[in-house]
Amino acid sequence: MNNKIKELELLKRQVINSKHINEEKKKEILKDINIGKTFDFNTGYPTIDRPWQNHYNMDKFYDINNNMTIYQDIIYNNKNYLNQQALEFFFANISYQKLFNNIDKAAKSFVEYGIKKKDYVTICCAGIPELVYSVYALAKIGAVANLMAPYFEHDQMIDRIAECNSDTLIVMDTFYPQIKSAIDKSSIKKVIVIPTLNSSPLRFITSKDKIKINYANELWWNQFIKDGKYQAIPKTFEYEKDYPLCMVYSSGTTGASKAIVLSHDSFQNSVLSYNANKFDLNRGEKMYQIIPPWYSTGLNTSIHLGLHSGLIVFQDPRFERDVFVNNIIKHKIDYTVAPTSMYEGFLDEKLIKGKKLTHLGNPFEGGEPLSREVKEKIEANWKKMGCNSKLTAGYGQCECGATVTSPSQYVEHHIGSVALPIPGVIVSIFDDDFNELKYGQRGNILVNTPCGMLEYFNNKEATDQYFHYDEYGRKWNCTGDIGYMASNGDLFVEGRKEDYTIVNDKKIYNFDIETPIRSLTDVTDCDCIGKPNENGSKDLGLHIIFAKEFEDKYKDYEQLANRLSEFQEILYKQYNNIDMVPMYFKIRNNFPYKPSGKRDTEFLSKETEGFIYIDKSNLLENKEKVKRK
């Protein structure tokens, strides 16, 4: 009840101080608040109206109050279900009892090797059971997991490891060769190598071409576990508010990658919110972890939410589209979170021909644009395979603790939106001076969340720049994304604030060019990127992937040129701005991706060859002709 009183008092102050609500309306709203009618306002401002809360179970909403670490949470929620399955990994079915035993074994070995409360242990692993054991074992003893991707720049890897004084590395054998040169120059003193299939029966029949570990500071995982055999099971670290759990990393696309410190509360407040979100997660169903754990979505939403809810977490470390599609079909997956590029595998007839899809319940998309046309094509193919599931989009950011918005099975969301803020989270749109905007107005997306990061590790300047504190003392995460909000609370994310091209001294958002073109039936995907020109500036370059059924048609240059001219007309008619009409087009079969799975826009921005030039001056001429008539 204290949470409820605190929230309503803040809301009252906000209404009283509002410059946008007249006095009569203020009295009406304050009366509603006092009698418990909290969320039927219509002021036009999301932070006051909070229309998304109309869809919550409000009794459970006010019960969101974490008092556990993530380790305590999975023990508490599964103590009566020890014989049920927790993990599935290449023919290995691991029960909750075995999961807890293996966490204890890992915790004992960490203690044996001197790891203690507040120490940072670097982990470079994809989705394998030993990753799960390690993270929860560190949580059990109060240590912190420093989660790094294998594609990290070596200089940055060395610096980030040194910053947190990490001297122990846990690494998957397939990643170790590519990072070893960096590790040798870092502060790491002990390397624990995990064979990828260590937990699977397949380990007995895999190739003998195993990496060699010959140095005194290297040992295999199983030896590491044996070394802790005679240690007592360490005492469980008791919950402390805002205590660090792990570090994940920003992409580093705009400079050096930053370490994002997430707390136990970041994870717990996120998973606890599902109780109030009217979202069904049924014990014994299966969650597919495809997002790597060095992203908070992979670790929080795909692993911790699954174990918190008593699900079976299905793991396969391969981040490949054909593997993803085959696993969804073969292993009868109920839930998964994946980028659009993975779901597009269901558009490949070779992967789905003759297959049945009977189990998929709630697939979520996040991290990449999802057009209405691609969504509908994927769902149409699912229907042909015997599945009526809908592909729904959510929104998150590592700095926000993974999840900001999430769809609900019981709400009809606007197509193109990323659904509603999760319980406990407030989202709104602000201009550059932090003035709140009304529904439908485009601006900066800011998030007030109990699931967000504590800080950028040892980087006060970047931390201070990222957070904004309003007059009520609320801390807002400045996401760097541009969007708007519908009057029911659905959020629309249009693109990154930094995703623009300067044309004739004007800022053109690249996503404004992409959105109308991506919606066309003959376009599968597109990307607008500034193309370098001879003057040292940039022109708009539109990269296009046509739908397969149109590929042969557009091999005819005349038909292709006519269609590209039509694209120009569509954009000019929509914006009435000739600067927002590209002249350079590149037809592609696919887009380049970074090892992280994100589209390689840096590579695209350097391309100068292979473009088709379509003059756009006729658009202005046609406009003049219309005026004369």
Q: How confident is the model at residue 251 (pLDDT cuts 50, 70, 90)?
A: low
Cross-strand pairs, 509: 500
Q: What gap in Å lies between CA 141 and CA 623, rounded to an integer?
A: 71
Largest CA distance in the chain: 93
* Average pLDDT rounded to a whole number, residues 173-187: 95
pTM of the full predicted structure? Answer: 0.90
Q: What gap in Å lies between CA 305 and CA 546, rounded to an integer?
A: 37
Q: Does position 451 have pLDDT exceeding 70, yes or no?
A: yes
DSSP assignment string, 223-260:
HHHHHTTTSPPPPPPPP-TT-EEEEEE---TTSS--EE
The four Cα atoms 69, 74, 75, 77 give a dihedral, to 10 degrees, of: 120
Q: Give 92-238's CATH code, choosing from 1.10.10.10, 3.40.50.720, 3.40.50.980, 3.40.50.10110.
A: 3.40.50.980
Q: Does position 456 have pLDDT exceeding 90, yes or no?
A: yes
Q: Give the per-residue pLDDT at 626.
A: 41
Instruction: Supply 401's token pair.
Output: 């603790």
Per-residue pLDDT tens over the stretch 399-447 = 999 899 998 877 888 888 999 999 999 999 999 999 999 999 999 999 9
Q: Does domain 499-628 bear CATH number 3.30.300.30?
A: yes
Cross-strand pairs, 538: 532
Q: Give the per-residue pLDDT at 24.
A: 87
Q: What gap in Å lies between CA 181 and CA 133, rounded to an integer?
A: 26
Q: Where in the chain is the domain with CATH 3.40.50.980?
A: 92-238
Q: What gap in Å lies between CA 86 and CA 125, rounded to an integer?
A: 19
Q: Where in the chain is the domain with CATH 3.30.300.30?
A: 499-628
- In terms of phi and psi (left: phi > 0; alpha: psi -120 to 50; beta: otherwise), the region of 607 is beta
Between the CA of residue 281 and those of 334, 408, 420, what are the distances in Å?
9, 11, 18
Instruction: Supply 420's token pair.
Output: 């509603």
Instruction: Supply 513's token pair.
Output: 């060019």
Q: Would strands 500-503 and 506-509 be described as parallel, antiparallel, or unpaired?
A: antiparallel
Half-sphere exposure at residue 298, Cβ-oriented, CA atoms within 13 angstroms = 27
Per-residue pLDDT tens over the stretch 360-399 = 988 998 877 787 888 889 999 999 999 999 998 999 999 9
Cβ–Cβ < 8 Å for 462, 454: no
Q: How confident is the model at residue 627 (pLDDT cuts 50, 70, 90)?
A: very low
Block residue for tokens 């919550």: 56
Q: Give the per-residue pLDDT at 623.
A: 55
Q: Would strands 286-289 and 259-263 be described as parallel, antiparallel, or unpaired?
A: unpaired
